[in-house]
Amino acid sequence: MEVGVLAIQGDFAEHIAVLSNLGVTAREVRLPKHLDSLEGLIIPGGESTTLSRLMTIYNLREPVAEMAAQGRAVWGTCAGMIMLSQEITENDPVPLGVMDIGVQRNAFGRQVDSFEQTLDVSALGSDPYHAIFIRAPLIIRVGEEVDVLCALDADRPVAVQQGNLMATSFHPELTNDYRFHSYFLGLAGGNGNSPVSRNGAS
């Protein structure tokens, strides 16, 4: 299986290191041709306005949106989540609009307001998940086809899945807990069940 990490801005090296620890050599994606034959793509955290501009300059917006529409796995973390969303509350950046979610940038405040939080993520098993939020965006609208993987509370989802697409407000690549990356590799490998059917909960 070949997966890639968008490597034009942000903490792509950390994602590549986690994938490497899981035995997967990820391709660095900087140009549209680097997406060829990939089964999955991670869009890392960073600064979404810069990420968006660079994606425009390198002609990556349409090919990445196309990849998502084709059913290949795409996961956005933090700024990457902002890019995957349908709409955001700010004017900048213009997101790709591939996931049926609405997002508010910097919803928890500035860099100093970054925080860590232990979460229940049933799709990853019963062990609690320790999440790192850095100038994090919040999901403020969730479409009908979107499953909430975990939330801070009933009104504040922070990880969601829509079929082959996944978005997290926080940074799994900055922890030693690789379960989100393993889950993503499952999506990329065609085990893209909804979290509900994965758990056998319905």
Among 60, 79, 84, 185, binds ligand GLN (CB under 6 A): 79
Supply the residues annotated as catalytic.
Answer: 78, 171, 173
Q: Which stretch binds ligand GLN (CB under 6 A): 45-53, 64-72, 151-159, 194-202?
A: 45-53
Question: How far is Cα 99 from Cα 97, in angstroms, rounded to an integer?
Answer: 6
Smallest distance from the beta carbon of 189 to ligand GLN, in angstroms?
A: 26
Among 104, 106, 117, 193, binds ligand GLN (CB under 6 A): 106
Residue 62 Cα distances to 52, 59, 67, 71, 97, angstroms: 12, 7, 9, 15, 11
Among 5, 26, 74, 82, binds ligand GLN (CB under 6 A): 82
Q: Which stretch binds ligand GLN (CB under 6 A): 67-75, 76-84, 115-123, 155-163?
A: 76-84
Among 45, 63, 76, 192, binds ligand GLN (CB under 6 A): 45
Residue 71 Cα distances to 108, 134, 152, 164, angstroms: 32, 29, 28, 6
Among 103, 134, 149, 185, binds ligand GLN (CB under 6 A): 134
Q: Are 164 and 71 in contact (CB under 8 A)?
A: yes
Question: How far is Cα 141 from Cα 95, in angstroms, rounded to an integer?
Answer: 15
Q: Which stretch binds ligand GLN (CB under 6 A): 22-30, 39-47, 123-131, 175-183?
A: 39-47
Q: Are 69 and 98 in contact (CB under 8 A)?
A: yes
Alpha-carbon radius of gyration of the chain: 15
| Positions in the binding site for ligand GLN (CB under 6 A) | 45-48, 78-79, 82, 105-106, 134-135
